[in-house]
Amino acid sequence: MMNTVPRPLAALLLLAVLLTFAPGGCMPPPSMPRYAIPPIGATCKIQIRRDALGAGAAGPIPPRTDAFNGAETAVSGVLKQFTTEWIVLDVAGKEIWIPKTVVLLIEVEPPPEGK
C-alpha cells in the first residue's frame, strides 16, 4: 500500500512553493536581514560587471572605475525600488532598470548628518 498526499493538500503545498520562489517580488524574503538592502531614497552608484559590458581586457579594470576606454561602467542615482531581479534608480527624472545579474557592486552614500 502506498502513502499518498491528498490532492487538495498537494495543490496547496505546490502553491506555497511557487509563491515562495516566484521571481519579481518587491522585497527579498523575510529571512534576509534588512541591512542587506540599501535604503529606498539613498543615493547609489551601481557598478556594472565589466563582462556584461563587453569589456574583456588583458589587464584588470578597477571595480570602482566610472569609465573604461571612454565607456561608462557605472550608473548613479536615487534608489527607487529593489526587487528580486531589478534595481531601479531615478537618474535625472528618468527610471533606469538594472538587472541584478549584471551588478558588480553598489556604493551607497551615507545620509547627511542629522537624518
Q: Is the pLDDT of residue 103 over 70?
A: yes
Whether 13 maps to a domain, the answer reads no
Enumerate the H helices of 52-110 as residue ranges: none
Whether 72 maps to a domain, the answer reads yes
Cα 30-31-37 angle, rounded to 5 deg: 70
List of residues 6+ apart from 98 with CB closer than 8 A: 46, 48, 75, 86, 87, 88, 89
pLDDT tens per residue across span 69-84? 777 889 999 999 999 9
Supply the range of the domain harboring residue 95.
Answer: 24-108
Instruction: Work out the average pLDDT over 19-42.
Output: 62
- The CATH number of the domain where 69 resides is what? 2.30.30
Instruction: Work out the average pLDDT over 51-71.
Output: 72
Whether 9 maps to a domain, the answer reads no
Average pLDDT, the chain: 75
How many domains does the chain divide into? 1
